[in-house]
A and B are shown apart, each in its own frame.
Chain A
Amino acid sequence: MAEFDKADIEKLIDGVLPWPATQDMLKSPKDTDRFDKYVEIMQARVDFKDPILLPLTPMLFIVAADGERVVKCRCGHSFGDYRANWKLSSLIHVRDDEASISEIYRGREMPDPAWVQIREYICGGCGSQLEVEAVPRGCPPDFDFLPDLDTFYGEWLGRPLPDTFSFEDKTLEKIAEWSS
């Protein structure tokens, strides 16, 4: 089984690993400790101490914090319970007219705002652009991934987490609060 240095994995993430070494990673049987090494690398790059449970994206992490599991940006900004779509706790900028869309797409590259709006999800802490959606009006934001964390740790990694959380989508609970 292949093993790769943390330093090489870091170079890969940063896009500076030489191509032959990258090919080696692509072609070799996968290393079994990659997840742990990746989490260690990410843990050293974030501005918070809470342990990372899952790197949701290169910028967003599900972390264990004060008995809860919440989504945090690298900068430490929290988006709340990982079982509700984090986008509902984000800042959002929506381009849904020609003036705002033309800041990105000009002239013959301009999409039609009656067909599509560009939604930018921005971190309230560091101003990072975390996701961009291009959807017609009426489309709920994608809940890109709701992990079954307890199955992952308990059955797949063989080291259960100290507490368990139900595997359920809580997004609509938040909506219900807003609309009541």
Chain B
Amino acid sequence: MALSLRERTQAHEDAFKATGCLFGLETLVCKETDPGGYEAVWHILSNLCNAAWAVGCKVSSSPIAAEGGDALWGLHTATGEAICISRGISAHAGLLSDMIKNFIALGYEDNPGFKPGDIFENNDPHYGGIHSPDFDMCMPLFYDGELIAWASCVSHVSDAGSVTPGSIGFLNPDCYSDGLAISMERVGEGNRFYPWYELRIRSRTRTPDFVMGDARGRLAGCLTIRDRLEEVIEKYGLDFITDASKEYIEDSRRYAVGRVKTQTVPGRVRKSQFKDLAMKGKRVLLAKQDLDCAFNLPMELTINADASVDLSLQGASGTVPFGENISPTALKSGLMMGYSHIVGFDMFNSGPISAWNVEMPPAGSWANPFEKNYEAASGVAWAPAVTWVSNLYEVFGRLFQMRGFVEEMAAGAGTIMTAEFSGINQTGMYLTGLTLEQASQGSPARGYSDGENSAWCIYTPEADFGNAEISELYYPILFLGRNVAPNSGGYGQFRGGLGHTAVWMVYNTPGLEYQCGDAGMRSKMVANHGMYGAYPVVPDRPAYGHKTNVKQLIEEQKPLIHGRGDPESPLIASLIEAEVVEDNAIAPFVTPEPLQDYDIIVHPIAGAQAMGDPITRDVASVERDLNEGWTTTRVASEIHGVVADKPNGAFVVDSAATDAKRSEIRAARKARAVPFKDWWLEEREKVKAEENMDPAILTMWSTCMEFSPKYGEELLAFWALPEDFTFSG
């Protein structure tokens, strides 16, 4: 009698424990006996997933999928391991895999059973989903009556019916406000959705046509995988496809382990990371939300002698009464994405992460909320997670440097701040949804060059902010500017790629709400540290003007606003007159009242982390940045120590004066800096007295110490504070 899927899963786990190889595959038979076929089928299966992406995005309705490609399709083994995935939001590969495994673990094979044409979905964080707008789907695939694989998909819908419109539910106070929950359900049979699935979408989401359109897009992509897979099986045979599929996963594990061993160094890495969420005094939903929050997002990573990797989040701070809490399953999926980008990218599947031992994050923390706070909201669960994953890029960049693989080095990400609109558009249709601006940030500095401008996004390799005209088609806005933001990539020998500024004018609407959302933004803090002595990326500070004189400016053909301007004199303050001008807003927020025609929004998108001492930056690069308008004379002079003047309309660097200035900066640094011990003695008194520490920071430390006692002990030991010391937060 054939083993059940649950029994096969257990057998795989036992074989891995016994042999150290996934599925017990100590020999890769297909690869060794038919290397050409092995390689060819890999590319065929990858292309099959990419075909699903192309079909699925075209069938989808929302601009998020149709224009931005913010979706993903995957092919899995019968027991759920991801074999390969499409282009798109690769952060979800692990999560889709875990969803299929979860259906098997919950006994769905017996009840309701798996049969051809079944459609299963989940978006519920309590069962491993990331946040409700990310609808995760899977379909069992059969051949000759046997379940031989799964097709999967996720797409990010424009609205999932949470308490506030849109898909970035940072304001959600609890899980009950996160919106429509599909909790590990069969939502269709015979390749069709149940009628009541659509009724539920229609009654409980604000943009049902888009949400159902995206559901059909997911289904179309999965059916594409099904049909193409049948063709591949007909050509290569079922045995070869199923055997090779397992080998791709084990092969990928070996690749990642081999890469760790040949390109990194064993030892212990520690990287701190912090994030703010300042909501006190702003428009919130419940009284308990009238507070500021801070996140501790620490990463400790140990590379062992056998090149396996242990990962700990000891010290993670407590849950917040907003949507920024994430399930451990979803967090691990994000980690898998980051790791696959950095280390295991030869074949992107479930293999690389299997060599990791991920310690369960502290119960009650943002990274494992439900054990202690079942009601925690996850409206935008990825906000702390992507910020934390940024560490992974930097720490592996550091490890690659140690082995001399400078070409592989990267610094970390910047911040992710979203823009969502909700209201009636120019065609009279109600719309809510995400613009795609944040999906095209600056890329991190590399070990040998600056990052690239507006060309990268940490949560997807599909970095694309879409066509402005498409955004204008959906939303009642007009772009007045979309331009590179100077000084937005940190300051270092190599700077991060620069971010950009979107300037929108609200137009042709009776009223539009602007949600400046948190998907990993930082507004009180700078983003990340510097790497190797660079200065971090600037905080996110959006701006808007309400009830403006822009209509009059247009009629009089006077200058309009097209960018941010100087941080000390922003253009919105100097060019626009308005009843409300918020020129230095602390994100995130929702506008207190709907914006109206001719109102202005200035929405910044971050660059990425820099690396290296800023006074070692190549002077020619500074000169170029000055002439391109990518840096300013103040930063060039005071931070990079570059002296330049503009004799004939273009900046020219004075090399001798620059050398002298840089020597002065070195001397000044030594003169003002103090021995660490002297600072430590003074600082510990300030820590003890909680001097100039925001209440949010005190609460953060307090919860870290409560949920991770060992982390707390080490923190107290570092400051030589008594064992019973606690922060007042």
Contacts and interface: CB of A to CB of B under 8 A. Distances in A.
Interface of A: 9, 12-15, 17, 22, 25-26, 30, 32, 34-35, 37-39, 54-59, 87-94, 96-97, 103-116, 118, 120-122, 124, 126-140, 142-149, 151-152, 155-156, 167, 169, 171-172, 175-176, 178-179
Contacts of B672: 93
A92 B567 CA distance: 28
A88 B693 CA distance: 23
A128 to B, nearest CB: 6
A63 to B, nearest CB: 14
Interface residues on B, range: 35 or more
Contacts of B665: 127
Interface of B: 261-263, 265-272, 274, 276, 294, 303, 305, 395, 398-399, 401-408, 447-449, 487, 491, 494, 524-526, 528-536, 538-539, 541, 543, 564, 566-570, 583-584, 612-615, 618, 634, 638-639, 665-667, 669-670, 672-677, 679-681, 683, 686-687, 691-694, 696-697, 700-701, 714-715, 717-720, 727
B535 A104 contact: yes
Contacts of A96: 692
7 contacts: A54-B265, A57-B532, A93-B673, A130-B613, A137-B691, A175-B718, A179-B720
B673 A92 contact: yes
A129 B568 contact: no
Contacts of B674: 91-93
B407 A130 contact: no
B525 A129 contact: no
B267 A57 contact: no
Contacts of B691: 137
Contacts of B449: 15
A9 B274 contact: no
A167 B267 CA distance: 8
A171 B566 CA distance: 43
A90 to B, nearest CB: 6
B534 A114 contact: no
B274 to A, nearest CB: 6
A148 B533 CA distance: 24
Contact of B677 (A59, A110, A116, A178): A178
- Most chain B CB within a 10 A radius of its CB, from A12, A25, A35, A132: A132
Contacts of B403: 34-35, 38
A141 B146 CA distance: 56
Contacts of A135: 272, 274, 529
Nearest to B695: A114
Given A15-B494, A145-B398, A175-B717, A34 B274 contact: no
B355 to A, nearest CB: 16
Contact of A120 (B305, B570, B673): B673
Contact of B539 (A32, A109, A152): A109
A114 B280 CA distance: 15
A115 B262 contact: no
Contacts of B638: 103
Contacts of B535: 104, 118, 132
Contacts of A93: 669, 672-674
Nearest to A57: B532
A39 B265 CA distance: 14
A91 B564 CA distance: 37
B274 A137 contact: no
B265 A136 contact: no
A15 B401 contact: no
A132 B536 contact: yes
A129 B401 contact: no
B541 A108 contact: yes
